[in-house]
Structure 1
Amino acid sequence: MSASVDIQHHPEEHRFFILWAKEQAELLYSLDPNSKKINFYRTYVPESARGKGLARQLVEAGLSWAKKQGYQIEASCSYVQPFLKN
């Protein structure tokens, strides 16, 4: 079950996030300054928001943005890794 949410991106902080009941679900990434590589390294959803599809929505938004930027995408976050196989 997916909730309709507003995904925000703060590139200066290298993160995508969703505000949820005064908490934040987030997807963090790092950029390699010497190449066009991006690494998604952490996904976090507060307990109160789990099971609502927020992590999936964050990952899909992050991957979509990274592809549009022309980044070579990597994921050290185990949650993100299966999305790269599609």
Structure 2
Amino acid sequence: MSEARTVRHDPSQSRYVIEVGGQEAGFAEYVERDGVRDFSHTVVDPQFRGQGLSSPLIAAALDGTREAGLRAKASCSAVERFVSKNEDYRDLIV
């Protein structure tokens, strides 16, 4: 049985965090300015790599950005790759 994965927004730290079994496994960090969240850094902790965590993390971060009525910038290469493979998010990118 796999451990529960959840993504939460931590606005005080300007990032989205993915947790596995209640333990922080990675995050997508952003800077928000003028209605745009610039995702600059995405990290998955080495002990959690290879579990496919970056895609659900980035998807949740972009979904949350859309729900907040904001646009996104993909300064992070992981976010840029995700958007290039998932056309439903391309309209969100400035």
TM-score, normalized by the shorter chain, greater than 0.5: yes
Aligned pair count reads: 83
Question: Residues 3 and 20 from structure 1, CA distance in 2 versus in 1: closer, same or farther, beyond 3 angstroms?
Answer: closer
1:79 match:
78
Q: Is 1:70 the counterpart of 2:66 in the alignment?
A: no
Q: Does the CA-based 8 Å contact 2:29-2:39 persist in structure 1?
A: yes
Question: Residues 9 and 76 from structure 1, CA distance in 2 versus in 1: closer, same or farther, beyond 3 angstroms?
Answer: same
3-state SS of 2:28 partner: strand
So what's the TM-score if we normalise by structure 1? 0.82
2:90 match:
none
2:92 match:
none
Please, what is the CA RMSD of the aligned residues?
2.0
Gaps of 5+ in 2: 88-94
Deviations 1:25-79 (A, max 9, x none): 11101100xx211111111011111111111111000000001112121011001
Letter in 2 for 1:84: V
Q: Quick one: percent identity of the two aligned structures?
A: 29
Higher helix share: 2
Letter in 2 for 1:17: V
So what's the TM-score if we normalise by structure 2? 0.76
Q: Is 1:28 the counterpart of 2:34 in the alignment?
A: no
Counterpart-to-counterpart distance in 2, 1:29 and 1:47: 21
